[in-house]
Amino acid sequence: MKIVNTKTLAKNKFLDFKLTEYVDQKGNTKYWTWVSRPNGIKAVVIAAIVDKGYYNNPNGGGYLRDLRLVVIKEFRVPFGEYEYSIPAGLIDEGEDIVGAATRELYEETGLKIKSILRVSPFVYNSAGLSDEAVSMVYAECEGDISKVGHEDSEDIEVFLMNQNEVIKLLEDNTKKFSAKFWIIAQYFARNNSIL
């Protein structure tokens, strides 16, 4: 495989639409249309929990940790419906990963990061469609849910879901889920943890 040429077909503030000419393994010339973030902009995805302390296990055996996964339900224009996901957004110029995660979490939920549990290297969301790189930030947060940071184009509802609520949500085949949410939520449903 060899890239021959890439040209920009169109662009806007958030995306460049590109066409790449390449040669496949058999020497055939092919074309691939894809999108890119302008100027190599990257993004953050925030897997966040709120620790509500402990509660007495109704089945006996002591106390259980009452963790809540931060879940957002956001209207998505491409399919004209709501999608369940976790907070995410673009890293602004001059911002580091943790700074972007802190800002995006607050803007989308009103919550503040209490501690960073882990930061992933940049990974790729949908390599067949885009070169967008994201860093997964795992965090514990605190505060009150608010819409104070929402932009006019954001229709977001925020939930703090316990393990049983996440399990029930994942079993609802009528809902739409982002891939990043599905992976985090499946882990949380099994382990009552994000890590």
Q: Where residue 61 sits, what CATH number does that domain have?
A: 3.90.79.10
151 shares a domain with 86: yes
87 CB burial (10 A radius; 0-12, 13-18, 19+): buried
CA neighbor of 98 nearest in space, from 159, 130, 147, 139:
139
95 shares a domain with 148: yes
Residue with tokens 């929402």: 150
- Strand 176-177 versus strand 81-85 pairing type: parallel
Host domain of residue 130: 43-191
List the structure tokens of 60: 């006996």
Yes or no: say if 164 and 156 are a contact pair by the CB < 8 Å rule.
Answer: no
107 shares a domain with 28: no
76 shares a domain with 18: no
Q: How far is CA 114 from CA 60, 139, 148, 179, in A?
A: 31, 7, 19, 26
99 shares a domain with 72: yes
Q: Which stretches of the chain score pLDDT less than 50?
A: none
pLDDT digits (tens, 9 = 90+) for 128-174: 999 999 999 999 999 999 998 888 889 999 999 999 999 999 999 99
The SS3 assignment for 108 reads helix
129 shares a domain with 56: yes
Return the pLDDT at 145: 96
CA 136/CA 46 separation, integer angstroms: 6
Return the pLDDT at 151: 87
SS3 content of the chain, % helix, strand, coil (to 5): 20, 50, 30
Domain count, the chain: 2
172 shares a domain with 80: yes
Yes or no: say if 134 and 122 are a contact pair by the CB < 8 Å rule.
Answer: yes
148 shares a domain with 118: yes
Return the pLDDT at 62: 83
53 shares a domain with 29: no
138 shares a domain with 77: yes
Question: For residue 139, how many C-alpha atoms fall within 13 Å in the half-sphere facing its CB?
Answer: 30
What H or E segment, with its residue span, contains residue 104?
Answer: helix 97-109
CA 181/CA 177 separation, integer angstroms: 7
Return the pLDDT at 58: 78
55 CB burial (10 A radius; 0-12, 13-18, 19+): exposed
